[in-house]
Amino acid sequence: MDANGLYQFVYGIALWLMQVIAWPFNNLLGWESVGGWFVSPGVVDFLTTLLAALIVFFVGFLISITFIWQERKTLGRLMDRRGTQVGFLGLFQNFADGLKTFIKEHIIPDEVDKQLFNLAPVLLIAMSCLMMCLIPLGPAFYLANLPAGLLVVFAVFSLAPFAILMAGWSSNNKYTVMGGMRAAAQLIAYEVPILLSVAAVVVLAGSLNFFDIVAVQQDTVWFIIPLIIGFIVFLISAIAEVERIPFDLPEAEAELVEGWMTEYGGFRWGLIMLSEYVRGFAASGLIVLLFLGGWDGPSFIWPEIWTMLKMFMVFGLFIWIRGALFRVTTKQILSLGWTKLMPLALVNLGIAIALKMGGWF
């Protein structure tokens, strides 16, 4: 663990808090054993984990909410209208909408498989929020620094379509089933190119740890320069993975009513929508960390701010693509994934191996 990390910072706060709580037990009541239990490493560690998880969740949550705001505002300008209006620059519109979904009636249709129907959004949101703590925003702001963090992130990233398939199947509705099936097909088609393009990054960096990857980029160049093909492949595949508009077949509004989330309403629907943007947060975070140098930047502002700025720029690119392009068909999406992106990713991997063998990295 980093000595300056978020965990250490929160640990100090938790220890102080526990000492405050333990003080009357030690000095007034004289129950030394109870006071000692409060400041024991296990209790403080538990509290620290809880607090740090909460902080990371709220930061990720706020960034995701801001992504929604950014999308609504940019799409508004792009369609010659104003976008959200509530509050300063329309920043509070999403909170108002969240409140609205929260107070709506919770309807479970009669014919659904109730256990799976209730489990699917929980799984989806859990999968999305798990990525928040695996993606570091800066050298100090992270929750878990795993040696093979990249692998874990991609494992979690690929799990969400299973929850989608589950939701589609349990809703007992032809549109939801079709949406879920399309999500699965899309996942299989795009999982391979995305992993191949990541493999090139791993080859260059020589590590599966985000901190090592960013350190290598700080030492040499951002990986977007040698691996521009991989960047494009990763960008397209990431849009397909988070099911944004050129590739939003699982929830094609024109053909399948609302896709796999047709039967969900109220706060579940709100959380599902939020989880989509949390996945967008994860995708743009991965692009920033793997290709755009992570928190690398001039040091007059905090590195975390650099990461976030780059994430907002990448998400702006997502919005631009969403505003400009039309939805592809099922056949086109699969043929694009297997026949175009896959060879490109292989070429990219070859370039990475050549660069590594040539000794430039």
Partner 1 sequence: MAEHKAPKKRLKPVGILLRPMAVVARETIRTTVNKPNTIQYPWERLVIPDGYRGRPGLVMDKCIGCHMCEKICPTTCIEMVEVELPDKGKVERPQVNLGRCMMCGYCAEVCPKNAMLVTPEYELAEFTRQDLIYDPFRLQYEDRPGLHVDVYEATPAMVKQGLYGVDRKTGKEIRDYPEVADAKCIGCSKCEKVCPADAVQMYEKGKNEKGKPIKRPKFDPEKCVGCEQCLDNCPKDAISMKEVK
Determine which residue in the list 59, 76, 90, 172 makes contact with partner 1, applying CB under 8 A: 76
- DSSP string for residues in 47-112: HHHHHHHHHHHHHHHHHHHHHHHHHHHHHHHHTTS----SSGGGTTHHHHHHHHHHTS-----TTS
Determine which residue in the list 1, 77, 86, 206 makes contact with partner 1, applying CB under 8 A: 77
Determine which residue in the list 28, 30, 33, 331 makes contact with partner 1, applying CB under 8 A: 331
Our CB check for partner 1 shows the closer of 237 and 307 to be: 237
Other Cβ atoms within 10 Å of 18 Cβ, number: 19
Assess contact for 241 and 319: CB atoms under 8 A: no
324 binds partner 1 (CB under 8 A): yes
Backbone angles phi, psi at 106, to 5 degrees: -100, 110
Taking CB under 8 A as the binding criterion, the range among 13-21, 79-87, 132-140, 208-216 that sits at the site for partner 1 is 79-87
110 binds partner 1 (CB under 8 A): no
Taking CB under 8 A as the binding criterion, the range among 51-59, 71-79, 258-266, 289-297 that sits at the site for partner 1 is 71-79
Our CB check for partner 1 shows the closer of 27 and 85 to be: 85
Our CB check for partner 1 shows the closer of 70 and 217 to be: 70
321 binds partner 1 (CB under 8 A): yes
Letters for 145-184 (x = contact with partner 1 by CB under 8 A, - = none) are ----------------------------------------
Task: Collapse the DSSP code of 41 into the 3-class scheme (helix H, G, I; strand E, B; otherwise coil) and give the result.
Answer: helix
The least CB distance from residue 324 to partner 1, in Å, is 4
Tokens 């599902």 belong to residue: 272
Please report, for residues 23, 165, 166, 273, 316, the alpha-carbon distance to residue 313 in angstroms, rounded to integers and kept in the order given: 49, 31, 33, 21, 5
Task: Collapse the DSSP code of 325 into the 3-class scheme (helix H, G, I; strand E, B; otherwise coil) and give the result.
Answer: coil
Q: Look at residues 291, 300, 303 and name the one whose alpha carbon lies nearest to residue 352.
A: 291
Taking CB under 8 A as the binding criterion, the range among 21-29, 176-184, 264-272, 325-333 that sits at the site for partner 1 is 325-333
232 binds partner 1 (CB under 8 A): no
339 binds partner 1 (CB under 8 A): no
Q: Is the dihedral of CA 263, 265, 268, 273 positive or negative?
A: positive
Taking CB under 8 A as the binding criterion, the range among 24-32, 81-89, 127-135, 182-190 that sits at the site for partner 1 is 81-89
Please report, for residues 143, 145, 223, 357, the alpha-carbon distance to residue 217 in angstroms, rounded to integers and kept in the order given: 22, 18, 7, 18
Determine which residue in the list 20, 332, 357, 360 makes contact with partner 1, applying CB under 8 A: 332
Tokens 């992130």 belong to residue: 153
Total binding residues for partner 1 by CB under 8 A? 16
Determine which residue in the list 39, 55, 78, 257 makes contact with partner 1, applying CB under 8 A: 78
From CA 324, how far away is CA 331, in angstroms rounded?
21
Taking CB under 8 A as the binding criterion, the range among 6-14, 28-36, 315-323, 341-349 that sits at the site for partner 1 is 315-323
Binding site for partner 1 (CB under 8 A): 74, 76-78, 80-82, 85, 320-321, 323-326, 331-332
